[in-house]
Amino acid sequence: MERFEPYVFLNKLASRWDVLAFIVVIGLITFLGETSRGLFAPLSQLQSTPVSLDPAHLPEYAARTTFRMMAALLLSLVFTLTYATWAAKSERAGRLLVPLLDILQSVPILGFISVTAVFFMSLAPGRVLGAEFVAIFAIFTSQAWNMAFSFYQSLRTVPIELIEAAESFRLTPWMRFWQLEVPFAMPALIWNMMMSMSGGWFFVVASEAVVVGHTTFALPGVGSYIAVAIAEKNLTAIGWAILTMLIVILLYDQLLFRPLVAWVDRFRVEQEPGAGVPGSWALTMMRRSKLIRASTVAFQAAVLWTSRAIRRKDGPPVEAASRSKRSLDLLWVSLIVAALVVSLWHIFAVLIANTPLKEALQVSGLAFLTMLRVFVLITLASLVWVPIGVWVGMRPGAAQIVQPLAQFMAAFPANLLFPLAVYGIVAWKLNPDVFLSPLMILGTQWYILFNVIAGAASIPTEMRYVAANFRVSGWLWWRKVALPAVLPFYVTGAITASGGSWNAAIVAELASWGDTQVEARGLGAYIAEATTAGDFHRIILGIGTMSLFVVIINRLFWRPLYYYAERKYRLT
Amino acid sequence: MNTTPILQCIDVRKSFPKPEGADLLVLDGMNLELNEGQIVGLLGRSGSGKSTLLRLIAGLAEPTSGRVTYLGQPVTGPAAGIAMVFQSFALFPWLTVFENVALGLEAQNMARTEIRKRSLAAIDLIGLDGFESAYPRELSGGMRQRVGFARALVVHPNILLMDEPFSALDVLTAETLRTDFLDLWSEGRMPIKAVILVTHNIEEAVLMCDRILVFGSNPGRILSEIKVSLPQPRNRLDPSFRELVERIYVEMTVRPQGTPGGRQERFPGLGIGSVLPQVSTNRLAGLLEAVAAPPFNGKADLPEIASDLQMEIDDLFPVAETLQMLRFAELEGGDLRLTDDGKAFAQGGVDERKRVFSRHLLTYVPLAAHIRRVLDERASHSARKSRFIDELEDFMSEEEADQTLSNVVRWGRYAEAFAYDDENAMFSLENPT
């Protein structure tokens, strides 16, 4: 019963968990103070104190990079809680917001940086803060969409009996949101946050060099450090950066995501006792430390206070308010149509009218090249990782080691390794059209691996016994047992990997080492070149084409495949 | 005792709009009065609208026409004096037992100390002492439903609504919970004035209720009202208890009045438009065999065979009615009597059974006959599934059409009347080679 006593922490002054918690909290506060100090400095400071390759600066750079990640994550969370809620609660808004989200998801993220830079710089003119906004927004665009999607999905699938219970006990909409909907959505949201984070690391490295017009501002951070190291051909510095990144991701994992995943276990609705609840020392620390628990009491009080401040409006529940609003519907539709017409006109005026047919054909050709690359790479990666993933997934011991490793590799920004590859290509005079390609999948192949591991691990033991009992082995076993069983999981992984590879193309198809540039022909290189040249027109054309390709491939290939796999091969 | 009703339903109708336009009527002409000190049972099969009525009373939905009044006031939303216990418990898995129970009070802006006092009292009353800080997933089904009861009682409702509260529990646990509930009720220790219990379990209704409203389907309506004046605690083996159970079985198998020739299918719709229930051929065969064998020898009393086979009415009735539709049995006066073909099926071997079943399927199930005819007439001997779905959707909802077609596929496959390939969604006459 002690959990209802607010003052338990006075019984004993402090436990050893308190000491640990104290150190961590103070560390976090110092870190926030340190990193935010530079935000209001004038922009010129970025040029007067360029990024230094001295490894002694790396902790500070890492802190700045981490700070950006956190800010973007917070922003994504706010976006998720508002945008997705709106889309789920208002049928009218949802009809527009959901497809919009789907499109946004397929826009290559790096394209955003150059397009939005001017706007964000103007928010804090002449300050470093403006450049930070640009970087943070770029990271935000790599995180927000799938989080919002997951939250939207969860809101739409809250079990009806829980909604009825909330209604019949007369919870206010505000209470219902925080006590029912958010907790219910939590597990999926946390998982998507982790996935977003993995994507984010990739882009934080790429987004720290903000190009506005013909000036480049290098924000202090690991990404800028790498950029300088590449420009100066300093292999040792790149080694240091890779090491730093490994440590940062490890810390993030231990201090943020492990505790979150362990904590969120209680929000799962399936009421079976969890098969192996994930553990986390950081969560244990937070739970055991009375100081931290006392501070959560304050938080709970705040939730309670807001719940009370906002009253319930008595009246008929959900279903009633639908018919009378025909005219509003009409207004809404006409608004959308108007917006559509304006956008189409703009697209036509800016893009199509100014694009010679030759250029359009060229861009489509390049897109086909990139598409070819993505498909070949996914196939190759599948040939390697599916057998390995199945093998690992069938052995719980091995899976326990490999699974977190694969997730970790997915989070590691593969672009840190690009310089090494470029160095090799230059040194051995290899064909960049072929040898730059693997970089596109370097970071995303792990999605295939850990999804397949999860799939293989979920094959029911009885099914394996049956296979063993009837001596199904060799190729027959793969064909009839293993591959069908992991197919739904594999498809999920392949979709993520494919999407990530398209995004990575912008970085991977055009790489440099010192003043040597290595280029593979493709849409990614086209966009990267246009970005460097500050050619607004070609940037939009490139991004538009890429988005179009990704959307079409998703609709015509991945989505049908996904539903087919789910329907036919999902073991339930 | 106060005799003005706490709750009244007057001419309540409820229909849901169907996409094709015509509304689906699920409740019609519903009149109900609830007085203080009563437990009223709403008894019927799934789809008879009893749960819908409960939701109208709870203020979770609004009637299409008619009125629901609570203490003389129309119910326009969840009312403060009405609390509900759910079939699936509907506990919030992220809240502890205590927090789950306290939730309803927190929504009422009550003082912290009062919330604590009342929650602990409710937890105590319902026998959950010591489980306050447990999470639902740590509890057994019975304990979870106790939390459901405590959560409802803590708000001190005048009316307690129970939506099949024991049907997700095993037999032993359910019985313990029922007894505990009845003890608390008869001792007047619960802060409630009246109870409405939705159930599809006839014995449960007779055991617990003072009045039972028997519901019929299509549309949902009250067939009859039965008063139970047996003194509590009631004994299931008591002859008058058994008699009452038997009487309700008869009520529930009475044929609708005024149908020519005395025969009307119980399934909604006529011809190929009838919605077929989800019943596998194994269940059909199982019931036929059970009725054909001693001690029944071809004629079984429904309550007896139900308890013999451990089937609740929701399991038993669809099977029995399908047998009747296929003319393998007759259902009347609470009895199930096999026809000659029904007996032949029960005694036959695999081939004989298939022959008899095929003949009856193609004669008495118009949809099966229709599919077979289409396949016979076509040169290709094949037809798309969508063709039949479209036809069915003229008569029923999309969901019902899917269910009906998947049933006819199941029966058609067993009868070897036609084949179906799910991958291509094609019907054909071929058998796999």
Same domain (yes/no): A229, A372: no
B263 domain-assigned: no
Q: Do B62 and A171 touch (CB under 8 A)?
A: no
Instruction: Please answer yes or no on whether A161 and B137 come within 8 Å at the CB atom.
Output: no
Distance from C-alpha of B137 to C-alpha of A132, rounded to nearest angstrom:
45
The pLDDT of residue B255 is 57
Mark whether B70 and B126 lie in a shared domain: yes
Q: Which of A7, A162, A169 to mutate to test the interface with B (most CBs of B within 10 A)?
A: A169
For position B264, what pLDDT does the model report?
41
Residues of chain B with Cβ-Cβ distance to A159 below 8 Å are 88, 90
Assess if residue B149 is contained within a domain: yes
Q: Do A316 and B62 touch (CB under 8 A)?
A: yes
* B329-332/B335-338 β-pairing: antiparallel
In a domain? residue A482: yes
What is the distance in angstroms between the Cα of B18 and the nearest Cα belonging to chain A?
Answer: 14
Contacts for A123 with CB less than 8 Å, ≥ 6 apart = A129, A130, A133
Residue A440 shares a structural domain with residue A548: yes
Name the residue facing A162 among B92, B138, B151 (closest C-beta).
B92
Is the Cβ pair A183, B83 closer than 8 Å? no
Contacts of A314 in chain B (CB under 8 A): 76-77
Determine contact, residues A227/A209, Cβ cutoff 8 Å: yes
Q: Flag if A271 and B137 touch (Cβ within 8 Å).
A: yes
Largest CA distance in chain A: 79
Distance from CA of A556 to the nearest CA of B (A): 19
- Identify the band that residue A10 occupies on the pLDDT scale cut at 50, 70 and 90: very low
pTM above 0.90, yes or no: no
* Closest CB to B107 among A161, A172, A273: A172
> What was the pLDDT predicted at A454?
86
> Across the strands, what pairs with B160?
B83, B195
Residues B246 and B336 in one domain: no
pLDDT tens digit sequence for B314-366: 888 889 888 988 899 988 778 888 998 988 898 888 888 999 999 999 888 88
Residue A206 lies in a domain: yes
Q: Are A344 and A408 in contact (CB under 8 A)?
A: no
The verdict on B314 and B220 lying in the same domain is: no
Model confidence at B313: pLDDT above 60: yes
CA of A468, closest CA in chain B: separation in Å?
Answer: 28
Last residue of a domain, one of A216, A239, A268: A268
Query: How confident is the model over A366-416, as pLDDT tens digits?
Result: 999 999 999 999 999 999 999 999 999 888 888 888 877 887 787 787 777
Q: CA-CA distances (angstroms) from residue A266 to A274, A276, B365?
A: 9, 12, 50
Residue A228: inside a domain = yes
Residues of B in contact with A167 (CB under 8 A): 59-60, 78
CATH number at residue B220: 3.40.50.300
Where do the H-state alpha helices sit in A80-123? 85-89, 91-106, 109-123
**Same domain, residue pair A375 and A469:** yes
Residue B32 pLDDT greater than 70, yes or no = yes
By Cβ distance, the residue of B76, B80, B133 closest to A3 is B133
Choose, out of A8, A168, A269, A287, the residue to mutate when testing the contact with B (most B CBs < 10 Å). A168
Structure tokens at B248: 């309700």
If asked whether residues A299 and A161 sit together in one domain, one would say no
Q: Which residue has the higher pLDDT, A303 or B74?
A: B74
CA dist B411 to A351, B261, B278, B347, Å?
60, 27, 10, 19
Distance of alpha carbon A54 from alpha carbon A60, whole angstroms: 11
- Give the SS3 label for residue B77: coil
In chain B, what percentage of residues exceed pLDDT 90? Answer: 24
pLDDT at A2: 35
Same domain, B121 and B228: yes
> Do A55 and A8 reside in the same domain of the chain?
no
Predicted confidence (pLDDT) at residue A147 exceeds the cutoff of 60: yes
CA A335 to mean position of chain CA atoms: 32
Label residue B265 by pLDDT band (50, 70, 90): very low
The 10s digit of each residue's pLDDT in B379-414 is 888 899 888 888 888 777 788 888 889 999 999 999
Residues B14 and B22 sit within 8 Å (Cβ to Cβ): no
Name the pLDDT band for B41 (thresholds 50, 70, 90).
Answer: very high
Nearest CA in chain B to A266: B94
Residues in CB range of A297: below 8 A, 6 or more apart: A6
Distance CA A62, CA A476 (A): 50
Number of domains in chain A: 3
Give pLDDT, residue A421.
82
Query: Considering only alpha carbons, which residue of chain B is nearest residue A178?
Result: B94
State which of A214, A235, A268 marks the end of a domain.
A268
**Assigned domain for B1 exists:** no
Residue of B nearest to A187 (CA): B94
The predicted model gives B71-76 an average pLDDT of 88
- Averaged pLDDT, B53-66: 90
Give tens-digit pLDDT for A226-240: 888 888 888 888 888
* Selected residue with higher pLDDT from A570 and B8: B8
Instruction: Write down which residue in B253, B288, B310 finishes a domain.
Output: B253
Q: What is the pLDDT of residue A287?
A: 66
* B262 inside domain: no
Residue A347 maps to a domain: no
pLDDT for res A371: 92
- On the question of pLDDT at A4 being above 50, the answer is no
Span A325-352, pLDDT tens digits: 667 777 877 887 888 888 778 777 776 7
Give me the percent of chain A exceeding a pLDDT of 90.
9
Contact at 8 Å (CB) between B8 and B33?
yes
Residues of A in contact with B94 (CB under 8 A): 183, 186, 266-267
- Do A432 and A297 share a domain, yes or no? no
What is residue A293's predicted lDDT score, i.e. its pLDDT? 66
Q: pLDDT tens across B8-25, in order? A: 999 999 888 766 666 778
Residues A394 and A434 in one domain: yes
Task: Indicate whether B260 belongs to any domain.
Answer: no
**Contact assignment for B96 to A175 by CB distance below 8 Å:** no
Q: What is the pLDDT of residue B120?
A: 93
Mean pLDDT of B62-86: 89
**Inter-chain touch B77–A171, beta carbons under 8 Å:** no
Residue A129: the pLDDT is 80
- Best probe of the A interface among B94, B96, B143, by most A CBs < 10 A, is B94
Residues B242 and B274 in one domain: no
In this predicted structure, which of A103-112, B82-91, B254-263 has the lowest mean pLDDT?
B254-263
**Whether residues A123 and A161 fall in one domain:** yes
Residue A101 lies in a domain: yes
Query: Are the CB atoms for B46 and B200 separated by under 8 Å?
Result: yes
- Rounded distance between C-alpha atoms, residue B420 and residue B433, angstroms: 14
Residue B84 has pLDDT above 60, yes or no: yes
For chain A, which residues lie within 8 Å of any Cβ of chain B, measuring from their own Cβ?
Answer: 1, 3-4, 159, 161-162, 164-165, 167-172, 175, 179-180, 183, 186, 266-269, 271-274, 304, 307-308, 312, 314-317, 319-320
pLDDT of residue A18: 67
Which domain covers residue A367, as residue numbers?
355-569
B313 near B252, Cβ under 8 Å? yes
Looking at the complex, report in whole angstroms how far the Cα of residue B148 sits from the nearest Cα belonging to chain A.
10
Q: Are residues B228 and B280 in the same domain?
A: no
| pLDDT value of residue B249 | 86
Chain B residue at shortest CA distance from A274: B137
Instruction: Write the pLDDT tens digit of every residue in B244-262.
Output: 988 888 888 765 544 333 3
Q: pLDDT grade, residue A509 (50/70/90)?
A: confident
Give a yes or no: residue B230 inside a domain. Answer: yes
Q: Is A445 exposed, middle or buried (0-12, 13-18, 19+ CB in 10 A)?
A: buried
> With an 8 Å Cβ cutoff, are A168 and B108 in contact?
no
B232 and B109 housed in the same domain: yes
- The answer to whether residues B215 and B309 belong to one domain is no
Average pLDDT, chain A: 80
* Residue A169 resides in a domain: yes
**Tens of pLDDT, residues A275-294:** 445 566 767 766 666 666 66
Q: Is the pLDDT of residue B272 over 60?
A: yes
Considering the domain architecture, whether residues B249 and B292 belong to the same structural domain is answered as: no
Q: A515 with A530, same domain?
A: yes
- Final residue of a structural domain among B229, B253, B277: B253
Tell me whether residue A331 is in a domain: no
What sign does the CA torsion over A186, A189, A194, A197 have? negative
Structure tokens at B146: 């106790």
Kindly report which listed range (A191-195, A553-557, B211-215) carries the lowest average pLDDT score: A191-195
Total tally of structural domains belonging to chain B: 2
Amino acid present at A1: M
What are the phi and psi torsion angles at B31 (to 5°)? Answer: -125, 130
Beta bridge partners of A107: none
β-pairing verdict for B335-338 and B299-301: antiparallel
Distance CA B221, CA B419 (A): 39
**Structure tokens of A11?**
């019984």
Q: For residue B131, what is the enclosing H or E element? A: none
Share of chain B above pLDDT 70, in %: 93
Chain A residue numbers with beta carbons less than 8 Å from the beta carbon of B99 are: none
Residues B225, B294 within the same domain: no
Q: What mean pLDDT, rounded, does chain B reach?
A: 86
What CA–CA distance (Å, rounded) separates B353 from B54? 44
Say what the ipTM of the complex is: 0.78
DSSP letter assigned to residue A232: T
Cβ atoms of B335 and B323 within 8 Å: the answer is no
Distance in angstroms (rounded) separating the CA atoms of residues B107 and A169: 7
- Identify the CATH number of the domain in which residue A446 sits: 1.10.3720.10
* Amino acid identity, position A244: T
Same-domain status, A459 and A554? yes
**What is the mean pLDDT of the segment spanning A146-171?**
88
- Record: contact A267-B76, CB cut-off 8 A: no
- Answer yes or no: is pLDDT of A12 > 60: no
Residue B264 lies in a domain: no
Residue from the list A179, A267, A316 with its beta carbon closest to the beta carbon of B103 = A179
Instruction: Measure A362 CA to nearest chain B CA, in Å.
Output: 40
d(CA B325, CA B331): 10
In a mutational test of the A interface, the residue from B55, B76, B92 whose CB has the highest number of chain A CBs within 10 Å is B92
Cβ-based contacts of B150 with chain A (< 8 Å) = none
CB A285 within 8 A of CB A24: yes
Q: Are residues A20 and A66 in the same domain?
A: no
The reply to whether B235 and B296 lie within a common domain is no
Per-residue CA distances from B369 to A530, A563, B82, B362, B394 (Å): 67, 33, 51, 5, 18
Judgement on whether residues B185 and B97 belong to the same structural domain of the protein: yes
Cβ-defined contact of A169 to B93 (cutoff 8 Å): no
Cross-strand pairs, B13: B65
Contact list in B for residue A304 (CB cut-off 8 A) is 106
| pLDDT at res. A89 | 87
Which pLDDT belongs to residue B433?
43
Same domain, A541 and A429: yes
- Its domain, for residue B369, covers 269-433
Quick one: average pLDDT of A528-541? 80
Asked whether residue B2 is domain-assigned, the answer is no
Question: Do the chains contact at A167 and B78, CB–CB below 8 Å?
Answer: yes
Interstrand relation of B335-338 and A510-513 (parallel, antiparallel or unpaired): unpaired
Residue A330 domain flag? no
